[in-house]
Each structure stands twice: as structure tokens, then as C-alpha cells.
Structure 1
């Protein structure tokens, strides 16, 4: 019985530790739209992954001059991400792509210059 109790305690401790570690890996930064167009979609994926993840904005957009806080909570322990920014069709701005170390990033400003 004592062995079972110790195993249950160890399992609970491991679960709590993994929950804390996953939360600590969330990447939070701000996107500033310094373009004349409306930013409609934002995709990211770790560098080296060939497919884009889901659109992070969902049904939100970032108008010219606006800022949005972004949280990437994918549970990964990587910092370097590829990013893809797509604008509304009427903005007439080509999609932009970049790679950044999101662990070091506090604010990312999108501009055409």
C-alpha cells in the first residue's frame, strides 16, 4: 500500500510540474501594424516545420496603427518561429514572411520599409 501511495504522489508531482512547464513555455509578444493595410491573418510554426499552423487571429484583424498581443501556447520548448502575415485583399499588400526568436521578442512591428 505504501508503494502505491508513493507512486500516486510521484505521479501527481510530475503532472503538476508538467502543467507548470507548459505554461512557462507560452510565448507572448505584441504585433504592431505599421502599414497602410489591414492585417487579416497571422500564421506561425517553428523553424524547420514545413506546414503553417492555424491562423492565430481567428476572427480578429489588426487595422493600420493598431497593436495586438499574441500568445503562442503550443507547448513546444522552441523559440525560433517562422511567421506569415496576410492582409485583406483591398489592402493590396503582398503577404509578408519572417523568422524571429520569439523568446527574445517583446514587440514585432510590421512595416513596408
Structure 2
């Protein structure tokens, strides 16, 4: 009986570990093709009601610049809501969009 319980425990740990190993970081390129400085960039998986932390931190993305971003949230989802906040622009103050970032590999912000 102890061997059976030990085998079941090992199998459960291996299965749990395999599930964790499948979660990969989501890496994509973000390009600011606007005339405004992108000051904040938030992402959240589709269906999550709250925005997660600002991906940029203290960094900004100037017009014409490109940056490679990594979402290392441990999830296996591809569809993310995105919120972009710009500096000093009435037309682009805040922009939101939803995309499958796994399929795209890159995302360009346009005015």
C-alpha cells in the first residue's frame, strides 16, 4: 500500500511539474508608429477584469522606436487586452486593443 501511495505521489508531482514547464514567456515586439511618446503599457489576459502592472516601469517608448517585450506571467494564453497611455496627446491619451500576441509576434501602434 505504501508503494502504491508513493507511486501516486510521484506521478502527481511529475504531472504538476510538466504543467508548469509548459507555461512559456510571451515575447513580442512593440513599435510606436505615432507622433506621441508612449508612457505606460498595460496588459491583461482577455477575461481578467483588472489591468496588471505597467510593463514599462520608468521606461517610455518614443515615436518611431521599437522594443522587445516579455510577458512572464506563467500563463499559457495568447489573447491579451492592452492599454496604452501617451504623453500630452489629446487624440491618443489612452488607447485600448485586444490581440492574439502569439500569432502576431509584433504589434505596431498607429494614430
- TM interval, short-chain normalised: 0.7 to 0.9
Under a length normalisation based on structure 1, what TM-score does the superposition of the two structures give?
0.80
- For 2:3 and 2:9, how far apart are their aligned partners in 1? 10
Aligned match of 2:69: 70
- For 1:12 and 1:48, how far apart are their aligned partners in 2? 29
After the TM superposition, which residues 17-96 of structure 1 pair with which residues of structure 2 at under 5 Å, given as runs? Answer: 17-23=18-24, 26-89=25-88, 91-92=89-90, 93-96=92-95
Q: 4+ runs of 1 displaced by more than 4 Å?
A: 1-5
Under a length normalisation based on structure 2, what TM-score does the superposition of the two structures give?
0.81
Q: CA deviation at 1:16?
A: 3.6
Q: Secondary structure at the match of 1:20?
A: helix
**Cα RMSD between the aligned structures?**
2.0
Mapped contact 2:40–2:86 kept (Cα < 8 A): yes
Q: CA deviation at 1:11?
A: 4.9
Q: CA deviation at 1:19?
A: 3.3
Structure 2: stretches of 5+ with no match in the other structure:
none
Matched pairs, number: 109
- For 2:17 and 2:46, how far apart are their aligned partners in 1? 29
> Cα distance 1:29–1:7, how it changes in 2: closer, same or farther (>3 A)?
same
Q: CA deviation at 1:70?
A: 1.3
Give a deviation string over 1:35-81, Cα, whole Å, max 9, x none.
11111101111222222111111111111111111111222232221
